[in-house]
Amino acid sequence: MTARATAGRLIACHECDLLQREPALPPDGVLRCCRCRAELYRAHPDSIDRALAFTLAAGVMFAISNVYPIVGLEVNGDLVETTLLRAVRILYDDGMWPIAGLVFATTFLMPLLQMATTTYLLVRLWLHRRPYRADLVFRLMHLAQPWGMTEVLILGMLVALFKLAKIASVVPGVALWSFGALMLLLAAASAAFDSRALWQRPGGQRGAAADRLPEVAAWPTPAPTAMHCGLLSCHGCGLLMHSRTDPHATGCPRCGARLHARKPDSIARTWAFLIAAMVLYIPANVLPVMNTSSVFGSQKDTILSGVVYLWTSGAWPLAIVVFIASIAVPMLKIMAIMYLVISTQRRSNALLRERIRIYRLVELVGRWSMLDIYVITILVALVQFNALATIQAGPAAIAFGAVVVLTMFAAMSFDPRLIWDAAQVCDG
C-alpha cells in the first residue's frame, strides 16, 4: 500500500522527504512512500507481547552463547575450546586491540545494549506505564541496532569450522547452536517492535504535530516536501513538527534526537569517510590478514589467498560467499557511494528511484563485510597448540576492519533526501 494525500495525519518520508497522508492499515499491512517506495510504517498486531517474548528469549540465548564454548578443536588428545569473550581476550593479548574492540562491540556490547533497552521499554509498556527517560533509552536502542552483527558472526563461524575441519577434529559447542537461535530471535524481536506504541502512551509529547498543518492542496509545489513547507521530520521517532516552533530547540521534543532539515555537511563527511576507506582498502587486500606458524614453517595469508584455499578445498560455495562479502562488497560499496555522492553533487535528476535502491542496498549489505574478521577471531582463538601450530591476526585485519566501519559511516553520513532535492515533481 502506498501513502496517498487523502486521509489520516501527515507524515514525511525519511528517504525523499515527501509529505503525504497516512491511511489506515489492515493487520500486517505495509505503508510505502508513493514516490520512492520506501517503507514508512508496518502494522504490528500484538506488538508489545510478541516483541517482549522474543526479546526475553533472545536474552536467555545471549547468556548461554557467552557462557558455553562455541566450538572445540581436538589434536592428539588436546582439546582447545573457546567462548566469544575468550576469543576477544586472545586478540587483545596479541596486541590486536582494535580488532578485539570491534568484535566485542559488534557481537557482545551492541546486541546486549539493544536487548536491554528494548526489554526496559517493552516491560514498562506491558505494565501500562510510561518508561522513565524513554527518550534516552529509545535513542540508545536506535544507536545499537545497525551495529549488532550476530547474523554475520554465525556465517563467520561456519567458514571457520570448515577451515578447522582440515586441521583437526571439530567439536561443536552449545554456544554454536544458541547463537543461531539468538540470531533468529533478535530478527523476530526487531520485526515485531512497534515504536509508535511507545509514543502513543498517555503523557507522550506530541510536539507541533500534523493536526495544525495546512492541507496538501494549499501547497504550491506539485511534490511538497517537509523542508519546503517549513517542517522537520525526526528520523528517530518520526515526529513531524514546525521548524519554527522553538527557534532555540536543538532536538526532537519527543525522543530528543537532533533535528535537521538535511544532515549537516552530508556530502563533505561522506567524502571524508569514503576517501579514508579507499586508502585503507589497498593494505587490507595486499598485506597478510592471518599468520600461521607450525612445525612445517610459517605462512602468511591474504584475504584472496583464503578464498583460493576454500575453492581448491572443494568448498566453492563458501569461497564464493567469502569473495563476495570480503572483496566484492567493500569495493562495490565504495563505488556505489561514490556514484551517489557525485550524482547528487551534480544535482542530477536522472534515475532517482534507481539511485535510492542503490542506497538501500548499500545500507543492507555493508555489515556482511565483517565476515573475514569473525573468521579470523575464531581461528586465532582455537589454533593455539604452541609448538604444533598457532594462528595470529595480521596487519591487514586492522585495515580491513577500518574499511568496513568507514564505509558504514559513509553510508550513514549520506542523506538520501539530497537525491530528490533536484526533482521538483512527484514521479510516483
The per-residue pLDDT for range 167-192, each reduced to its tens digit, is 778 888 899 999 999 999 999 998 88
Type of residue found at 327 = I
Contact 215, 20 (CB under 8 A): no
Sort strands 71-75 and 39-42 into parallel, antiparallel or unpaired: unpaired
Contact 306, 372 (CB under 8 A): yes
Q: Percent of the chain scored above 70 by pLDDT? A: 86
pLDDT top residue among 338 and 258 = 338
Q: Percent of the chain scored above 90 by pLDDT? A: 32
CB atoms within 10 A of CB 186: 24
Cα–Cα dist 408/144, whole Å? 13
DSSP H or E segment with residue 393: strand 389-393
Contact 353, 57 (CB under 8 A): no
Return the CA Rg of the chain. 24
Q: What is the domain class of 263-423 according to CATH?
A: mainly alpha
- Residue 8: the pLDDT is 54
Q: Residues 6 or more apart from 317 whose CB is under 8 A from it? A: none
Would you state the cell numbers that stand for residue 416, as one nine-digit string? 538520501
Cα–Cα dist 397/290, whole Å? 8
Residue-wise pLDDT tens digits, 115-133: 999 999 999 889 888 888 8
Q: Residues 6 or more apart from 236 whose CB is under 8 A from it? A: 138, 139, 142, 252, 255, 257
Residue 20 pairs with which residues in a beta bridge? 11
Residue from 341, 340, 323 nearest 331 by CA? 323
pTM of the complete model: 0.85
Cα–Cα dist 406/388, whole Å? 37
Where helices occur in 366-423 by DSSP H, the ranges are 371-382, 395-413, 417-421
Q: Distance between alpha carbon 9 and the CA centroid of its chain, in Å? A: 30
- Residue 293: the pLDDT is 67
Would you state the cell numbers that stand for residue 329, as one nine-digit string? 562488497
- Residue 207: the pLDDT is 40
Contact 162, 315 (CB under 8 A): yes
- Residue 294: the pLDDT is 57
212 has pLDDT over 50 = no
Sort strands 231-233 and 30-32 into parallel, antiparallel or unpaired: unpaired
